[in-house]
Each structure stands twice: as C-alpha cells, then as structure tokens.
C-alpha cells in the first residue's frame, strides 16, 4: 500500500486534494500534515475525517528535526506539498513568515525525502504545488509558458519562486524525483475570505464595502479548484520527473468586472432592493500589484490530456451557494483574528 503525504491539507486547495485522494484511492494511506495556521481548518475535512485511509499529523514544516522524525516513522512513497503562506497582502505586511514556511519549510521536506529515499527512488514522487505569480506580471498581451523567466514581484511570489528553484535544484543535484506545477488563481468552497472572491461574497452578505484595489483593471485567470485538483492527480501519477507544468483556466477577468458579476448573482439570490454594486469602493492599490496573469496550459493539455471541465458561470454560482449555506463555517473563520487582520489591511486604505 502506498503512503502519501499531503502538506497543507487543512487549507483551501489542500483540503480538496485530500478529499479527492482519500475518496478516489482507498488503496492509498493519506497523511495530511498541517500546522493549522489561521488558514488551516479541520472543519474543511469533516466529511472524510473518519475514513480509515485518512490520517492527520499536526506539525510545522519549518521544524527540520520533526520533518526527519515524521518521514522516518512513516516512510512515505509520495509527497504532495501544498503547505504555504499563500496571501500576497499578508506577505507585504510580514515577509519573514513567507521565507520560513515557503522556503525553509520546502527545503526541510526535500531534505527529509532525500534522506529516507536515499538511492531507492523508483516510484517515488516529490510534487511541489506552486503558482503562476513566480513569472511576474504580463502586459495586455501574451501568456506565461513553462519557459517564461522567473520575475517574482511580491514577497509571496519571491518565496514561491525560491522554493521552486530549490525543488528543481534537488532534481538536478540529487536526482530527487520532483514535479512542479504553476497554477493560476483558484476559487471554490473553503477558500479563506481574505482572497478576492470569498471576501467579496462575505462583504456583500454583511452589506460591507467591497474594496477594489486601484482602478480594478488588474486581470487574473480564474480556475475552479476541482479542475486544479484533477490536474494535480494527473501530474502526480503521470507527469514526467523533473518537469514543470503550467495550469490555468483560460478565463481572464478584470477585478472590477468579476466583482460586478458576483454582485449581480448575489442580488438575485438575496433578493435585495439595493444593488450590491453600490457597495463597491475603490481603495489604495496593492504595493507592486501585478497587472495581469494568463497561462498557456498547452503542455499539460497535450501531454497529459487535462482541460478544465467546469464552466466559470456554473462554478462561480456553486461557490456563492456554498458560502451562503455555510454560515457557521464563515462565522467561525471571520471572527477573532480575522477582524484584526481586516482592520490592519483595510482601515487606512
């Protein structure tokens, strides 16, 4: 039986990955290792927590001794590494946390895998889940390909770029069987409401201002999280060692158009008289704000046969419905420290 470690499995994308692997591969033992930061929430995995092939380990990937101890104890055959500090705005407030978790934490995992696998690398996989932000910003035209040079602009993307470089270096130097994917903006259930889509849904629900950075003309390529998870499954099982694959939704939106779309959908669902668009408030821009991300996914499409299956309209509506019905989840994650973060991030904008 294969033992698979998924780091960051209590976070947004990680919880979807854990659920997918636990349900689809009962022959695998799935170990979810997570520090449970503000973004990690075991409530995201309530429906699978009692499955016999699911196990949870609370640990910090920055703790190198602990990582060696855990890898030696469980002898994983594969690693899907998603644990990270993931929010650009927080990286502007506190870059060091990103360097520790995203860079040092990733190298700790690489070292632990290298130690337990030694020269027995057959059928082993160390898969690093990364972001398109490592490529920097596009102008009005063009796409990121796997050959686009790295030009990260935020402390978050610089830390992810650095971790990607270490992962690739361990392949070249030690022959560690690595794979990397760089994906565009995900959305869907369980996303922490610091990110644009759930923040806007939550603020509309509470009749709060909808903060749009700058003029709202920055462009992101949005992908439903379940489509990302299918790509992750394919790359984990069929991707080539040492290779990078870009993953994107071919679904570009300016922030302002996207927010207006959410407003319209929610006006209908909430049956309110006052249009939610009236809540839109333009605020001070994000420092170093990347203008546009857009992905050329032809490599993963041609080599592994992946393509997004969900239409954006349906997936967005499904996501809004999930947030509207998950009142308790939303209340829990937006109380306490979230209020302090919100105040710090938005009160002086």
Catalytic (active-site) positions: 132-133, 156
Dmax (CA) for the chain in angstroms is 66
Instruction: Indicate whether 136 belongs to the interface with ligand NAD (CB under 6 A).
Output: no
8 A C-beta contact, residue 183 and residue 131: yes
Instruction: Indicate whether 131 belongs to the interface with ligand NAD (CB under 6 A).
Output: yes
Instruction: Indicate whether 199 belongs to the interface with ligand DAU (CB under 6 A).
Output: yes
Q: What is the distance between the alpha carbons of residues 246 and 297, in angstroms, rounded to a whole number?
A: 5
- Residue number, 185 or 246, with CB nearest to ligand DAU: 185
Query: Choosing among ligand DAU, ligand NAD, none, which partner's interface includes residue 211 (Cβ < 5 to 8 Å by kind)?
Result: ligand DAU
Question: Which one of 196, 262, 300, 330 is in contact with ligand DAU (CB under 6 A)?
Answer: 196
Q: Where are the beta strands (DSSP E) in the chain?
A: 2-7, 28-34, 54-58, 78-81, 125-131, 178-183, 185-187, 210-213, 219-224, 244-247, 252-254, 280-283
Q: What is the distance between the alpha carbons of residues 227 and 198, in angstroms, rounded to a whole number?
A: 18
Q: What is the distance between the alpha carbons of residues 170 and 61, in angstroms, rounded to a whole number?
A: 18
Neighbouring-strand partners of residue 6: 32, 80
Place of tokens 């932000």: 133
Question: Which one of 19, 20, 35, 292 is in contact with ligand NAD (CB under 6 A)?
Answer: 35
Which span sits near ligand DAU by CB under 6 A: 20-28, 48-56, 93-101, 126-134?
A: 126-134
Instruction: Indicate whether 266 belongs to the interface with ligand NAD (CB under 6 A).
Output: no
Instruction: Indicate whether 86 belongs to the interface with ligand DAU (CB under 6 A).
Output: yes
Tell me, residue by residue from 285 to 324, as one string, x for binding to ligand NAD by CB under 6 A and - for no binding.
----------------------------------------
Using CB under 6 A, which residues numbered 42 to 101 contact ligand NAD? Answer: 60-62, 82-86, 101
Nearest to 189 by CA among 12, 6, 33, 328: 12
Q: What is the distance between the alpha carbons of residues 194 and 39, in angstroms, rounded to a whole number?
A: 10
Neighbouring-strand partners of residue 183: 131, 247
Instruction: Indicate whether 133 belongs to the interface with ligand DAU (CB under 6 A).
Output: yes
Instruction: Indicate whether 19 belongs to the interface with ligand NAD (CB under 6 A).
Output: no
Instruction: Indicate whether 195 belongs to the interface with ligand DAU (CB under 6 A).
Output: yes
Two tokens, residue 76: 């994983």
Which span sits near ligand NAD by CB under 6 A: 5-13, 253-261, 264-272, 330-338?
A: 5-13
Cβ neighbors of 325 (< 8 A, separation 6 or more) are none
Residues in touch with ligand NAD (CB under 6 A): 7-8, 10-14, 34-37, 39-40, 60-62, 82-86, 101, 105, 129-131, 160, 183, 185-186, 192
Applying CB under 6 A, which residues contact ligand DAU? 86-88, 131-133, 184-185, 195-196, 199, 211-213, 218, 220, 255, 286, 293
């Amino acid at each position: 039986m294969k033992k698979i470690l998924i780091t960051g499995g209590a976070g947004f994308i990680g919880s979807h990955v854990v659920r997918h692997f636990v349900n689809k591969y009962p022959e695998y033992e799935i170990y979810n290792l997570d520090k449970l930061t503000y973004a990690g929430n075991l409530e995201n995995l309530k429906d699978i927590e009692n499955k016999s092939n699911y196990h949870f380990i609370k640990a910090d990937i920055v703790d190198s001794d602990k990582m060696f101890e855990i890898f030696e104890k469980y002898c994983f055959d594969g690693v899907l590494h998603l644990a990270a500090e993931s929010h650009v705005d927080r990286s502007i407030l506190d870059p060091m946390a990103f360097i520790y978790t995203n860079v040092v934490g990733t190298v700790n995992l690489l070292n632990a895998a290298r130690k337990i696998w030694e020269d027995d690398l057959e059928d082993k996989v160390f898969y690093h889940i990364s972001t398109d932000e490592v490529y920097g910003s596009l102008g009005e035209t063009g796409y990121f390909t796997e050959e686009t040079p790295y030009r990260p602009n935020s402390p978050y993307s610089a830390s992810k770029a650095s971790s990607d470089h270490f992962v690739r270096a361990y392949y070249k130097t030690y022959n560690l069987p690595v794979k990397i994917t760089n994906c565009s903006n995900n959305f869907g259930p369980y996303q922490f409401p610091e990110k644009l889509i759930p923040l806007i849904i939550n603020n509309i629900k509470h009749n709060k201002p909808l903060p749009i950075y700058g003029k709202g003309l920055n462009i992101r390529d949005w992908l439903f999280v379940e489509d990302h998870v299918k790509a992750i499954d394919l790359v984990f099982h069929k991707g080539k060692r040492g290779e990078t694959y870009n993953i994107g939704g071919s679904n570009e939106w300016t922030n302002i158009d996207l927010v207006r779309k959410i407003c319209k959908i929610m006006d209908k669902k909430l049956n309110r008289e006052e249009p939610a668009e009236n809540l839109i408030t333009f605020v001070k821009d994000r420092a170093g704000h990347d203008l546009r991300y857009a992905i050329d996914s032809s490599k993963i499409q041609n080599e592994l046969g992946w393509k997004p299956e969900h239409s954006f309209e349906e997936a967005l509506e499904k996501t809004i419905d999930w947030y509207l019905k998950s009142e308790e989840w939303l209340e829990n994650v937006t109380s306490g420290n979230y209020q302090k973060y919100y105040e710090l991030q938005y009160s002086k904008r």
